[in-house]
Amino acid sequence: MAEITLVEAVAMAQVRAMQDDPTVLVLGEDVGRDGGVFRATDGLLERFGPERVIDTPLAEGLIAGMSVGLAAQGFRPVAEIQFMGFVYPAIDQIVNHASRLRNRTRGRLSCPMVLRMPMGTGIKAPEHHSESMEAMFAHVPGLRVVIPSSPMRAYGLLLAAIRDPDPVIFLEPTRIYRAVREEVEDHGEAAELDRCFVLREGGDITLVTWGAMTRETLAAADALAEEGIHAEVIDVATIKPLDEDTILQSVGKTGRCVIVHEAALTGGFGGEIAARLADRGLLSLTAPVRRVAGWDTVMPLPRMEDLYLPSVARILKAARETVSYQ
């Protein structure tokens, strides 16, 4: 079995989905002839033809609107937005149409579309190329928000997203597109949506994270283990709807929790997880819930990028303070 990168796993899942289901279409800017800005759709045009792999104009609103129309007519469009910072022109179609179609038609129509987009910083890109706005989409009723953290997760979760009968926002962390390789079997089996994955078991503290930040969080867990602190690491994977039971179960065991995410602190999805712990897990907590996040600032340009990202050192500091809290 070959070891592949996350972006190669995304490509593999799209090929598999298109082979298995003739209603699956791919559309977006440069997805056909150029194979996508990160080559996630490389080779699809030659394999499936221009009727199923559609190069669109530079118009994100059109891409999302076409996807809603195609989905309403029985297709399963997989649309690519080149970078998350470019999605704002498409918000109207996503929020006012994709997310509402099932409700608006009283269940007569659904909207089985996937909107893929690279997210996050770490590749030294210019402004608008490094956004982490998952909390904004998680706030919209009717949308499912998925963020893979590894090639294997990307393959299984994207297949599940494409087969889902409702709209899915599928966010791909650019920082780990090619940072890791993993054996991924092209078996056509979808991963389970709407559940967290326990990446590492431990009994002293729970570290909750998602996407690219799983790497720093796991590194912090390794360092904590050398100090005799055993951290349980949870990859949220599906931000919305949230599998809060897995998080509550872990915190029920450890009593302490640090949430790590790349997006800015204020209004970030870590606040939602902290609130649910306060609602349902308060009596399990033996220390305040801490959040380690990006700073409340516009995403900095490349030279300041590393200072923005939560580091292993910042995670360790928060974890040590949480564990030592009396």
How far, in Å, are 116, 154, 215, 218 from residue 264 at the CA level?
21, 24, 18, 21
Q: Which helix (H) or strand (E) holds 68?
A: helix 60-72
Q: Which helix (H) or strand (E) holds 117?
A: strand 114-119
Strand ranges (E), 196-322: 197-200, 205-209, 231-235, 238-240, 257-264, 290-294
Gap between the Cα atoms of 80 and 40, Å rounded = 9
Q: Fill in the amino acid letter for 203.
A: G
Gap between the Cα atoms of 141 and 241, Å rounded = 10
**From 97, 128, 129, 139, active-site residue:** 129
- Please say if 129 is a catalytic residue: yes
Report which of 170, 169, 171, 165 is spatially closest to residue 72, judged by C-alpha positions.
Answer: 165
- Cα 25-185-236 angle, rounded to 5 deg: 75
Two structure tokens written together for 65: 């609107």
What does 283-296 look like in DSSP terms, one character per residue? GG-SS--EEEEE-S
Active site residues: 129
